[in-house]
Structure 1
């Protein structure tokens, strides 16, 4: 009688693992200029067409002024929206597949500081809070994927550029 007791359950394939966008820029100098009140050109258009201010407000929900000109990062800081990468693609295996950060390398940054802020979601999305004090630099991220009885590394698969 032949007995197979030591066969590892499931499978894990990372051979084709990659990010469709394999880098992310984390800005240090954020443009948080608040919006300012400016004349609304659509309101003026309706006035010229003969509508009354009350009709414009009631029927179209348009008012004489609008907010405009906010800085590029105003909403991100206001709502505390983190920097988030795309999900990794090409990982196949028996669920659940867990992902963790294997290593971080850099030539000019601070690995310890980045590692305190960097987190990874189950689908490989990397996340950094908008409020951080990570030094400028180019960081390469390597990940480890594990499931029951198996573990595979995906080395230098993502770059975070802090500038």
Structure 2
């Protein structure tokens, strides 16, 4: 009888100690996260025909919102990195000017001095308890 009681106490103590670790709140799944389309052309020299409204309003270049992620609200988005093959200084300058709006819409202002090239962006999603990076998910092509 004492042996059974002792075993029961050990099992209960093990459950109590094992159950005391902190479990993160909610969930975050980014395996299917993407932008569709995932590329945006940024013209350094605006075209009066195609960019008339942008020129009038000083409007920035804006991607669509990120799709395909799931998670417990509130999900915050931030720019993790910007890369450009053979153009690290340009990538750093591009990242300084890039921002993100709610639901992951990427915003790049007009009138910057970033060199022409392809700039590939990775975005971090964070919510209570989780943080994941969607690598190389959007490309800006800067042309003159």
TM-score by length of 1: 0.72
The residue number in structure 1 matching 2:80 is: 102
Give the corresponding residue for 1:114.
Answer: 94
Q: Does 1:151 align with 2:131?
A: yes
- Could you tell which deviates more after superposition, 152-161 or 99-108? 99-108
Looking at structure 1, the residues matched to 23 and 65 of structure 2 have their Cα atoms a distance apart, in angstroms, of 31
The question of whether the paired residues in 2 share the 8 Å contact of 1:103 and 1:142 is answered with: yes
Q: Secondary structure at the match of 2:83?
A: strand
C-alpha change, 1:108 and 1:30, in structure 2 (3 Å) is: farther
Query: What RMSD in Å do the two structures reach over aligned CA positions?
Result: 1.3
More helix by percentage: 2
What does residue 111 of structure 2 align with? 131
| Structure 2 residues without counterparts, runs of 5 or longer | 1-11
Report the CA distance between 1:108 and its aligned residue: 4.5
Which runs of at least 4 in structure 1 moved beyond 3 Å after TM superposition?
none
Q: Does 1:12 align with 2:38?
A: no
**Ranges in structure 1 where 5+ consecutive residues have no aligned partner:** 33-70
Q: Is the 8 Å Cα contact of residues 108 and 138 (structure 1) preserved in structure 2?
A: no
